[in-house]
Amino acid sequence: MDLVGLIPLLPILGFAAIGLGGRWLPKKAVSILGPGVVGASFLMTLAVFFQLFSLPPSERRVVTSLFSWVVAGNFSVDISFLVDPLSMVMALVVTGVGFLIHVYSVGYMGEDPGYRRYFAYLNLFTFSMLCLVLSSNFLLMYLGWEGVGLCSYLLIGFWYEKKSAADAGKKAFIVNRVGDFGFALGVMLIFTTFGTLDFGGVFSQAPALSTEGGQRIATAITLLLFLGAVGKSAQIPLYTWLPDAMEGPTPVSALIHAATMVTAGVYMVARCHALYLLAPFSMAVVAVIGALTAIMAASIGLVQNDIKRVLAYSTISQLGYMFLACGVGAFTAGIFHLVTHAFFKALLFLGAGSVIHALSGEQDLRKMGGLRKYMPATYTTFLIATLAISGVPLLSGFFSKDQILSAAFFSPQGGNFLWLLGIVTASMTAFYMFRLFFLTFTGGCRASEEVQHHIHESPHSMTVPLMILGFLAVVGGYIGMPHALGGVNAIAGYLAPVFADLPHLPEPSLGMEYLLMATSVVVAFLGISLAYFFYVRSPQAAERLRQNFLYTLLLNKYYVDEIYQALIVSPIVAGSRWVWERFDLGIIDGAVNGSARLVEKLALRGRQLQTGYVRQYAMAVVMGVVIILAYLVWG
Amino acid sequence: MDAQILSWVVFLPLVGIPVILLLPKQRPDLVKWAALGTAAADFLVSLYLPANFDSANPGMQFTVTLPWIESFGIYYRLGLDGISLFLVLLTTFLSMLSIYSTFSAITEKVKGFYISFLLLQTGMLGVFVALDVFLFYVFWEGMLIPMYFLIGVWGGPRKIYATIKFVLFTMFGSLLMLVAILALYFLNRSATGGYSFNLFDFYQLALPLSIQVWLFLAFALAFAIKVPMFPFHTWLPDAHVEAPTAGSVILAGVLLKMGTYGFLRFLFPLFPNATFQFIPLLAALSIIGIIYGALMAMVQKDVKSLVAFSSVSHLGFVTLGLVAMNLQGWQGGMLQMLNHGVSTGALFLLVGMIYERRHTRLIDDFGGLTKGMPIFAVFFMIITLSSIGLPGTNGFVGEFLILLGTFRTNPVWAAFATTGVILSAVYMLWMFQRVMFGEVKNPANAGLPDLNFREKAVLVPLVVFVFWIGIYPNSFLKNMEGSLADLLNQVNRRETVLRSLPSQSWSEFLSAGRGTRSQAAVPVKPSP
């Protein structure tokens, strides 16, 4: 377990070497160092994982403290790492998928003048993300939390000369800060409640909050933390930054905005399940926000024309599923979906990147089409990922999504309504994904002649990661195969020590479970068939849809960005400007300058007394004497 | 050396003055090196302090006591504890870097500039180590004179307006404080029969609340103007915009801390009951300062006045941490004083560097600088992140401890103050984007030279502190904890004891004479 410190250390060393080495470091070295440190980190994680696995299940929780970080009075926090099944799942995803994306980037970013800067940022991101998931206390988690936000900011705005990219980076950071506002207050409340920020100390004391007053505190803590999760994982109402984040290089979208960072909120909620379980209200909020976000984002995804934006809304929607799972108490299902989603969504983004690369930077679905014959590897892997996310049986997405929907239906905290939202979302997902797939790979090519001329399959550094992810997107689901299908649900058993305190859900009847499963399959195929109808069979029908009011509403993303701009951003900026000019310069400074002017005026008046005429002075003296005498005599 | 080490630290800068005077006028380079050498020597000597500082001893260390004007009870009395230790180091450190940063900026009246600067340095150091209130006041006021010249002679177009405003504002508060100091002197005389300006004698005065309130207000006003707290902040943007870069660095980095230092050293321990009465007001002004400063920073057109308003916001955090009246708040507040010195000092240096290249500070005049000045961009980004309190940098530790301490006292205050964390990201990143990102639209911004060796040498030490404090703040927190904990105990204990005192008017107190002190004698730590 002592190796755990090395897991985040290697990427930060990579960052330092590439960052400080700068131009002295040859590009070749960067291509090896950048992915290399993450690969080494992945091997370390595997080593630690097997060490952990060799322990009996009840002892699979090891804390390694490096040094004490902040000590002030009775407040004390260490830089310390927690190795348990949950943190290991996350670390494996971060370093494993992260490594593949680093390798992919060698090909994708090869021609970019900011190559070194790119890998430095990517390593820094990996470090921060590992701090986030490996931390054994809330403060180090917060460091990772804000650290990934910083890297997200830097990488979204990677092409900083483009205003839209710089804007998007800034927006991501600021919206995330709104979430972090809640996270920070939650952490403070945790400290004042429990007197510590260590996970161990906090969660072991959590049962003490089961009193009525304690529940109120638990509700406050969990809602504040959830605000942080809402920001980081792009849920209603703070999701607007994620679609804009697509301004960044595509591998970044795959790594940060699909597979790892945006799932941090789900991880955090799962990590704090001991607190959430004490706050039924917060659980309900998590579930409802998750379900609503899932359906809302999916509906926007139905009509977007930018390939990456469709995937971005899809990510928001899938994250909503994960929160829905957590909210109904199915934390294992949420983490399971987090893992499978990391595989197939990273694959989708990387595949999209491969397409964009081939089409000389084109991202508009309306200018794609027929790429199947040019890019067989990309086509095949993309199809696998599309099938997986659509919930087609026997692929990874089917198993994890089904677990969530089943939990939403059966769990005491769930209900028909949440399940319904989930199932409608599922059919929408199948629709928008196959719409994207058909528009990209089938039919005739709608790109310009010149672009068509350059279409090519991507280099091996890009296609090999696609294939590996494709393999994972197929088999990843078997770690969580449900009992109903004769599986063993290995991931549930593996995570059991972490979620040992969860109340046992009533075992649903097999018949009902099969029925739900069948419904999922039917709606998935329904979505796929509709997409086939509109985008392969009769495209003119799809054209007619465009006239619809609803279509315009969705295309404009319910005008949420415009509403935020009009209701929040503009009034604050304009109001501040007004206050500065009228109040700060006008009233406060006016009073300051005014009092100076008053003194000046009084002095000018007073000066007139000094006439220099001795007669007047003598007169004044005589008058004074008379007044004093008068006072003494009569006063 | 131990006995007089503080005298050496405080007065060593003055040694450079005759040297500068003797150097030939035609050789400004020699003058600059002489000034830098003096400041560097002072910094090195001041390193003796942390090396020999005993963090287990909460009291005054390296004390010096010499009679000065004995018949009035005025002594030359210096001492250093965990509260002043880092402020002294910050002063010597920033002075050295500021002087080095001016090598290309100051071309006129070179001798005068560096003489003023060294005088200023002695004044600032004196403020932080003086334990005789009269001596303190001499340093406090004396420091105004060189600062007046630094802004008024080497400043920008509206320098006269700015410098007079600065001096009058500060004097206004200081004079009321002088009256209060004299009142303390006579109150002490009536209580003990002796003449003394010893701060520790004043600490032992058992003043009834009615008297404390007035004295508190006088001191508080002087310090609040210096900090500056809302609504006494309007001198700051003007002073900063007009001051030369090094002046801004020192003004923000050190001078503002005198106000917050005054809270801890004078205001709270001298008038504990009045302090607790006024905490809601001070907290409210701090929170308003945090939010108001941030919002005003957001809409500034001049980078320097943006940084000036951001100081109002950051110092709001500091004062909020102090009025939280618990150890986390105080340690966070102390740490944030250092952080603000490092980060805002560096920000002013950075702004100065692009000003020297472009002769403008208007945000709209810039854009796309990253392209041509990548090294500058890296430094600017690091300092920006430190300023917005990103974890891993110094700003986070200070802000977090302050908010944590505040939360323990009053969660609602903390909730309002935490919005400052959002707003700081808004104004800093927006400014950064407009200055550094985008395409180079204005041809004047193309082909600017990146940082030279001297400029990097000035910034690197600051960046080292950004990460040192961010990653291992215990080197700092540990040394200040003892003194702060001790002071906190003292304030709380005296507050409880004095609360039971009967209400007395001034005349009653003065005529009650010697008995008063023995009746309500409160054990405090012995004076040095």
Residue of chain B whose Cα is closest to the Cα of A593: B165
% helix, strand, coil for chain B, step of 5: 75, 5, 20
pLDDT at A57: 85
Domain ranges of chain B: 271-471
Distance of CA A338 to the CA centre of its chain: 12
CA dist B398 → A168, B391, B466 (Å): 29, 10, 11
CB of B226 closer than 8 Å to CB of B256: yes
> In Å, how far is B480's CA from the nearest CA of chain A?
10
pLDDT at A485: 77
Q: What does the H/E/C string look like for A495-550? A: HCCCCCCCCCCCCCCHHHHHHHHHHHHHHHHHHHHHHHHHHHHCHHHHHHHCCCHH
CA dist B357 → B103, B154, B246 (Å): 14, 18, 16
Element (H, E) at B502: none
CA atoms within 13 A on the CB side of B57: 15
Those residues whose C-beta lies under 8 Å from the C-beta of residue B131, and which sit 6 or more positions away, are B60, B63, B77, B78, B79, B198, B199, B200, B528
pLDDT at B468 over 80: yes
Residues of A in contact with B419 (CB under 8 A): 181
DSSP alpha helix (H) spans, A279-373 = 280-301, 307-327, 331-358
What letter does residue B444 receive in the DSSP assignment?
G
**B299–A71 CB contact, under 8 Å:** no
Phi-psi region of B170 (alpha: psi -120 to 50; beta: other; left: phi over 0): alpha
Q: Which residues of chain A have pLDDT under 50?
A: none
pLDDT at B131: 94
Interface size between A and B, measured as CB pairs under 8 A: 134
Those residues whose C-beta lies under 8 Å from the C-beta of residue B273, and which sit 6 or more positions away, are B209, B212, B495, B498, B499
Question: Tell me: the pLDDT tens digits for B229-277?
Answer: 988 999 999 999 999 999 999 999 999 999 999 999 999 999 999 999 9
Checking DSSP bridges between strand A62-72 and strand A75-83, what pairing results, if any?
A: antiparallel
The predicted complex's ipTM stands at: 0.90
Res. B518 pLDDT band, cuts 50 70 90: very low
pLDDT at B526: 44
% helix, strand, coil for chain A, step of 5: 80, 5, 20
Residues of B in contact with A588 (CB under 8 A): 231, 234
pLDDT at B51 over 50: yes
Residues of B in contact with A181 (CB under 8 A): 418-419, 421-422
- CB-CB: which of B371, B392, B436 is closest to A143? B392
pLDDT at A505: 67
Those residues whose C-beta lies under 8 Å from the C-beta of residue A11, and which sit 6 or more positions away, are A37, A38, A41, A123, A124, A126, A127, A130
Q: Can you tell me the distance from the alpha carbon of A114 to that of A130, in angstroms, rounded to the nearest whole number?
A: 24
Those residues whose C-beta lies under 8 Å from the C-beta of residue B450, and which sit 6 or more positions away, are B372, B373, B374, B375, B376
* A interface test, pick of B299, B338, B440, B456 with most A CB neighbours within 10 Å: B299
pLDDT at B519: 44
pLDDT at B512: 62
Q: What does the H/E/C string look like for A361-405? A: CCCEHHHCCCHHHCCHHHHHHHHHHHHHHHCCCCCHHHHHHHHHH
* pTM tops 0.90, yes or no: yes
Average pLDDT, chain B: 90
Q: Which amino acid is at A333?
A: A
Q: Using CA of residue A476, residue A482, residue A487, residue A489, what is the dihedral sign?
A: positive
CA dist A341 → A322, A348, B348 (Å): 10, 10, 46
pLDDT at B443: 87
Q: Can you tell me the distance from the alpha carbon of A275 to that of A202, in angstroms, rounded to the nearest whole number?
A: 9
Res. B525 pLDDT band, cuts 50 70 90: very low
- CB-CB: which of A157, A177, A580 is closest to B437? A157
pLDDT at A225: 95
- CB-CB: which of B234, B426, B478 is closest to A174? B426
